């Protein structure tokens, strides 16, 4: 069989898988050569390949919320440098108003040349541990303009003709608190691009550059075609959903994220009209980040195994008013935009549940919690610690939610306790499931997790970016909402409840304790198999009292079994309530 482009379908599949393998090899090279825990253990990074025109033809198994922004970043780079791109050049940007998402995310681009002709691009993205600015780690929600958030770079040359641009390296060194880690991670991003370049040229040599380029274009068209087919199978209509961020850390008012999805034939429009205006605090979501969230969510419904490239973006239109929290105007702060990105995905999945209720899970925990700690040790050496604490997935139409797992639109990993304690003046005193959390349902929501930190350095700065205190992760199909997040700070012998977003000074001996939100449940809790409730009790995920309260399941604690008669009576009584 021959494809419409006149290409052998077997070759098409081989090149598709070859591209996928290259971008994953890039990610492995980046992880192995990185300096910071945020890249080498948390894996807060992404890798991709573009063709000679800058079209995204392969994305790694990394962070979808990064990867959908690459067309924006590529367009900004080419608008400035097209005609001045030479072999050996490497480019860098982090400006969220020119293709980036927030200042800690560094985008590195290396053009790929063959016989003096540009044939592609190798791209890596990494979340740096620090970018200067008022708050160590660069993730604080307390900035009120982007100028407070750190070192901001439009598209610039990092290497020219194979030689480093020393001025840029020196400026970076002077403007970040931990230059060794930041510059080490930056060089790891370059190494990942070199890995991609080698793989790209080897794949092109194997099949011939002309056939390789034609196949890349065919893969873009194939992804578009499969996306259009999937959208065409969705029922035409208008589907809306509104979710909320509790506050921006500055003003107490809730922040609505409203999305309306219109399905018309093979075209899907996602419109954020009705969402809040941009806010004072640094949770505004830069436009490329918002679009990335949309693409990642719709990809969930496309299903199957289409080529993972920008072709599937083509039938998806994203709209939002300029000056809104999901499309801010400069100089709005965006450092903590991750929170809004997660709430965007929660709202989109809420709307998609109207399209495919049998495939969409209840709300996840609402995204991860960002914890940053910075300071100076007794010898005056700076340290910056950044990590993101996961919640769990919402209950699914056929399965429970996953306990303590990264959001469905990112692929983070947790920071092992041993690594944190070995590299930072921190003691992790607790890292465990929180009992009786997660929304009850036929399929329960993922449990919350608790993580407790004790500070060992004489003093430092603690920054928290969290949410879901008052607007809880929603349940679906009769499932209950999840449970709220919480945090406390123990200092000087006194323990106080903290706001969800804050920056404060901490001292040796202080203890910060945080519990993420529990995810929403799916389906009526009274329909849950009592044997599954008993299993959760035996696993100490639920208490017997909560099993009775939430599920109507009575556990005979002496025998460790379900009291079937008492359970039937309790469930019958509850189900008969009006």
Domain boundary among 223, 256, 276: 223
User: Do 426 and 534 belong together in one domain?
Assistant: no
Tell me how many domains the chain contains: 3
The CA–CA distances, whole Å, from 345 to 83, 85, 411 equal 38, 36, 14
Q: Are 523 and 553 contained in the same domain? A: no
Examine residue 47 and state whether it is found in any structural domain, yes or no: yes
Residue 564's domain comprises: 530-575
pLDDT at position 578 is 66
Q: Please check whether residues 557 and 484 belong to one and the same domain.
A: no
In a domain, 44, yes or no: yes
DSSP per-residue codes, 150-169: -----SEEEEETTEE-HHHH
- Do 152 and 16 belong together in one domain? yes
374 and 476 share one domain: yes
Alpha-helical (H) ranges within 34-113 are 37-40, 64-67, 70-81
Is residue 521 within 8 Å of 443, Cβ to Cβ? yes
pLDDT mean for each 10 residues of the chain (578 residues): 61 94 96 95 94 95 86 97 97 96 97 97 97 93 96 98 97 97 98 98 96 95 95 97 97 97 98 98 97 93 86 96 98 97 97 96 93 92 94 96 90 90 96 96 97 96 97 98 97 95 96 97 97 96 96 89 92 84
Among 207, 223, 239, the domain boundary falls at 223
Q: Are strands 267-271 and 316-319 parallel, antiparallel or unpaired?
A: parallel
**Domain match, 523 and 538 both:** no
186 inside domain: yes
For residue 411, tell me if it sits in a domain: yes
Whether 238 is covered by a domain: the verdict is no
Q: Are residues 523 and 568 in the same domain?
A: no
Angle at alpha carbon of residue 121, lines to 37 and 270, rounded to 5°: 80
Residues 489 and 546 both lie in one domain:
no
Residue 286 domain-assigned (yes or no): no
- 538 and 420 belong to one structural domain: no
Does residue 384 lie within any of the structural domains? yes
- DSSP characters over 193-252: HHHHHHHHHHHHHHH-HHHHHHHHHHHHHHHHHHHHHHHHTSPPEEEEEEEEES--SSS-
Q: Is the domain of 420 the same as that of 479?
A: yes
Same domain, residue pair 456 and 561: no
State whether 437 and 538 are in the same domain.
no
pTM: 0.95
Assigned domain for 95 exists: yes
Residue where one domain finishes, among candidates 192, 223, 254 = 223
Name 37's Cβ contacts closer than 8 Å, sequence gap at least 6: 385, 387, 415, 419, 420, 423
Q: Residue 374: helix, strand or coil by DSSP?
A: strand
Token pair 């997040």 in the structure block, residue: 485
């Amino acid at each position: 069989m021959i494809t419409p482009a006149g290409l052998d379908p077997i070759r098409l599949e081989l090149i598709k898988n070859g591209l996928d393998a290259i971008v994953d090899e890039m990610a492995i090279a980046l992880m192995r050569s990185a300096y910071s825990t945020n890249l080498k253990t948390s894996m807060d990074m992404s890798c991709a390949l573009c063709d000679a025109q800058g079209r995204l033809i392969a994305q790694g198994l990394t962070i979808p919320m990064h990867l959908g922004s690459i067309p924006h970043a590529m367009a900004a780079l080419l608008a400035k440098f097209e005609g001045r791109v030479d072999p050996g050049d490497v480019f860098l940007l982090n400006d969220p108003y020119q293709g980036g998402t927030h200042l800690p995310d560094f985008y590195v681009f290396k053009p790929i040349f063959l016989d003096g002709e540009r044939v592609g691009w190798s791209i890596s993205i990494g979340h740096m541990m620090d970018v200067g600015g008022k708050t160590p780690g660069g993730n604080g929600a307390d900035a009120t303009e982007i100028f407070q958030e750190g070192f901001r770079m439009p598209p610039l040359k990092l290497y020219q003709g194979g030689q480093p641009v020393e001025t840029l390296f020196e400026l970076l060194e002077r403007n970040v608190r931990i230059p060794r880690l930041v510059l080490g991670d930056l060089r790891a991003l370059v190494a990942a691009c070199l890995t991609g370049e080698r793989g790209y040229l080897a794949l092109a040599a194997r099949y011939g550059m002309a056939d390789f380029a034609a196949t890349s274009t065919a893969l873009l068209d194939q992804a578009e075609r499969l996306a259009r087919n999937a959208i065409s199978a969705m029922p035409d209509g208008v589907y809306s959903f509104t979710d909320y961020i509790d506050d921006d850390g500055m003003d107490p008012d809730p922040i609505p994220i409203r999305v309306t999805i219109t399905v018309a034939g093979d075209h899907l429009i996602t419109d954020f009209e009705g969402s809040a205006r941009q806010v004072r605090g640094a949770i505004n979501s830069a436009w490329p980040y918002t679009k990335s969230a949309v693409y990642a969510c719709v990809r969930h419904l496309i299903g199957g195994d289409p080529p993972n490239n920008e072709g599937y973006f083509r039938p998806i239109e994203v709209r939002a008013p300029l000056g809104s929290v999901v499309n801010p105007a400069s100089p709005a702060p965006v450092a903590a935009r991750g929170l809004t990105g997660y709430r965007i995905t929660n709202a989109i999945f809420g709307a998609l549940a109207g399209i495919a209720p049998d495939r969409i899970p209840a709300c996840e925990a609402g995204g991860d919690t960002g914890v940053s700690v910075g300071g100076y040790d007794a010898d005056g050496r700076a340290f910056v610690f950044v990590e993101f604490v996961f919640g769990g997935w919402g209950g699914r139409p056929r399965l429970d939610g996953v306990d303590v797992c990264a959001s469905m639109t990112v692929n983070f990993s947790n920071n092992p306790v041993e690594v944190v304690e070995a590299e930072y003046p921190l003691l992790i005193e607790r890292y465990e499931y929180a009992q009786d959390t997660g929304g009850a349902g036929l399929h329960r929501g993922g449990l919350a997790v608790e993580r407790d930190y004790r500070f060992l350095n004489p003093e430092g700065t603690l920054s928290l970016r969290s949410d879901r205190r008052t607007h809880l992760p929603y349940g679906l199909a009769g499932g209950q909402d999840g449970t709220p997040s919480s945090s406390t700070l123990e200092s000087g012998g006194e323990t106080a409840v903290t706001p969800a977003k804050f920056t404060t000074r901490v001292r040796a001996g202080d203890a910060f304790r945080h519990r993420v939100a529990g995810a929403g449940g799916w389906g009526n809790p009274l329909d849950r198999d009592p044997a599954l409730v008993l299993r959760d009790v035996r696993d100490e995920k639920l208490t017997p009292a909560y099993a009775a309260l939430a599920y109507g399941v009575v556990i005979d604690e002496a025998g460790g079994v379900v009291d079937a008669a008492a359970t039937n009576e309790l469930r019958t009584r509850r189900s008969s309530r009006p």
